[in-house]
Amino acid sequence: MDETEIMDVAREAILLVIQISLPVMMVGLIVGVMIALMQALTQVQEITLVFVPKILAIFLTIFICLPAFATIMISFMNSLADRIIGIG
């Protein structure tokens, strides 16, 4: 592999991480903003109130999106293995 192929693999890996983490982070952000809004409206400033709903929403998102994440990672690994085999 030359430098351009290494940079291509690194770029694809970074895009893969962004693609997989984006749904989980967006759900965490949306749930966090909703809880913060509810706390501001009700004047309840309990810090632990944010964590449980956010963790449950993130776990549910990971559980729902896991097959898609696996498909994305398998296709990336297959293309990476094809590149490795092409060298040898």
Q: Any idea how long the chain is? A: 88
Residue 24, token pair as written in the block: 């989980």
**Every domain of the chain and the residues it spans:** 45-82
Residues 80, 84, 86, CA angle at the centre, nearest 5°? 115
Model confidence pTM above 0.85: no
pLDDT per residue as tens, the chain (88 positions): 778 888 999 999 999 999 999 999 999 999 999 998 998 888 887 777 888 999 999 999 999 999 999 999 999 999 999 988 886 4
